Amino acid sequence: MGRRRLNNATAAASCLELSSLHGGPGSGASPGASVAGSACSYPPDGRDGDDDDAVLDDFERRLDALFEKRGTTRERALEALAVLMRVDVRDDDCRQHSETITSRCLMALKRGSAVESSLASQLLGLHVLTLGQPDESLFESLRPELERTAGGANGGGGAVAAAAVDALVLAAFVLCEDELAGTRPVMDRLRALWKKGDPKARAAAVRGWSFLLTSLDAELSEAEAAASLAGLAAALQDRDLELRTAAGEAVGVLRACCSARVLQALEEGDEEGEEDGEEEHEEDGEEEARQQHLDAPAGVGEHGPAAANGNKASGGGAGAKGGVRRQPPPHSSHQQQQVEDVLGRMWDLASNNGEKLRRSRRERATQRSTFRGLLASLSGDDTPSVRIKLQHGDCLELDGAAAVHRLAFLRRFLAGGFQAHLQHNALLHDVFGFRPRAERPDRLSALEKRLTRGSQSAGAKARSANRTWSRDAKASRMMMEAY
């Protein structure tokens, strides 16, 4: 111990001698002295750095990389930012750098490659979802470029268009306050994308339209419901499995979100058409008899008075109606035919009847299970429900086609960050109407578990004694009965 102290003292003296040789007496600020001092000193707090500052610097460093000229550098920065915002709710960073994120993502959509445009759309969707507050000006700045990219104007392919559709849907869902000026036009734009284009983009448009349908305050009109049903019926006939599945789910959401009046108008159109046809046939007979009476002279012919009296008797009702026929509702029988065609097609997809395409066994099984569940939901036999366990042991339970579909859309978009956003994103708490636990409840220690749940605990001994007494009592009763 004394030798170690001596060595340390010798080393310190050597350092002082070197410093005095470099600068002479009294030169304490020489370069040699500063180097020796830094080598022999320790950090005052014993820490290498602040982790929060490192994370913040990483976020800002990725933002700075979005201004680089090399496309691959910008792509890596967009991907890293998307990962940071997906696995953690960075609301402070999004509010602080909102203008930078928005401007660089819009520039990537205009001039970037297909990969860069797709990543920019994902980042915009995550940014909007993290902000979680309505902002009409931000929506108006994002909407034109997202609609252009969703329509395939930049030629990036189905993946780019689908990513832009998801970002446009989330922007309308979060940022719009005026339903008529914001959400409804976006839904009309999405419905126009159902007809042509890449199947992946069309499926994303169908999912986005049904997701926005669950957020409407006012219900669809009969004409809008009929037009949407016609578009979904055409999508059910498509070759792409993803598009057909999305169309089937949208039919279930449409039925759940429409009022009883709209559904009755769609489903009972055929009966109204038949009744109107019978009334029209009767009125045609009355009109023909009236025309014959006008052509014949009054009081002439053997059937003249009778015809006149009969025409008067039978024409009283027509005269009361004013000679105006009751017109049937437009397209009533056509709407009923659409409903029947949609249900028939879904039954075929649930049983793989009439399937001409060669598909794998997994795809056929997925299609059957999906459409069987949808048909059970439409018939009212099974109500869709979901139960998700959260980070701290509590559960989120949802019932109904609209709520389940809304959850499925957000889960699909957030992917691996779904649990983190469910736990910390205030927007999702308001959407699903729940508040998660802030921390996990206290657990029993190993000693407490052994004392309360072990085989030698008081409760276990009491249960064992009770079972022993029951067996002895049963054996005694059987012996008494035997004698």
Under the phi-then-psi rule, with left for phi > 0, alpha for psi from -120 to 50, and beta for the rest, what region is 272? alpha
Identify the three-state secondary structure at position 395: strand
Helix (H) and strand (E) counts in the chain = 23, 2
CB atoms within 10 A of CB 134: 13
Whose structure tokens read 């009778």?
A: 306
pLDDT, residue 334, reads: 53
CATH, residue 173: 1.25.40
Q: What is the DSSP letter of 239?
A: S
Spatial distance between the Cα atoms of 429 and 421, rounded to a whole number of angstroms: 9
Give the pLDDT of the chain (483 residues) as one tens digit per residue.
444 444 544 444 444 343 443 444 344 444 343 333 333 333 334 444 455 555 557 889 999 999 999 999 999 999 999 999 999 899 899 999 999 999 999 999 999 899 999 999 999 999 999 999 999 999 999 999 999 999 888 777 889 999 999 999 999 999 998 888 889 999 999 999 988 888 999 999 999 999 999 988 877 888 888 888 888 888 888 888 889 889 888 888 888 887 655 666 655 544 444 444 444 444 455 555 555 544 444 444 444 433 334 443 333 433 333 443 344 444 445 555 556 666 666 766 777 665 555 567 777 777 777 777 777 766 666 678 889 988 888 889 998 888 999 999 999 999 889 999 999 999 999 999 988 888 777 777 888 887 788 888 888 889 999 999 999 999 999 988 887
Note the Cα 271 to chain centre separation in Å. 37
pLDDT, residue 358, reads: 59
pLDDT, residue 420, reads: 92
Inside any domain, residue 364 = no
Chosen domain end from 178, 195, 210: 178
Inside any domain, residue 76 = yes
Joined tokens for residue 158: 């189905």
Note the Cα 323 to chain centre separation in Å. 54
Joined tokens for residue 398: 């949802």
Inside any domain, residue 347 = no
Inside any domain, residue 89 = yes
Quote the number of domains for the chain.
2
pLDDT, residue 41, reads: 35
CB atoms within 10 A of CB 370: 18
- E strand or H helix that includes residue 397: strand 395-399
Inside any domain, residue 187 = no
pLDDT, residue 177, reads: 86
Inside any domain, residue 85 = yes
Inside any domain, residue 372 = no
pLDDT, residue 437, reads: 85
Domain around 63: 58-178
**Angle (CA) 330 331 332, round 5°:** 95
Chosen domain end from 118, 152, 178: 178
> Taking the model in full, what pTM does it have?
0.66
Inside any domain, residue 200 = no
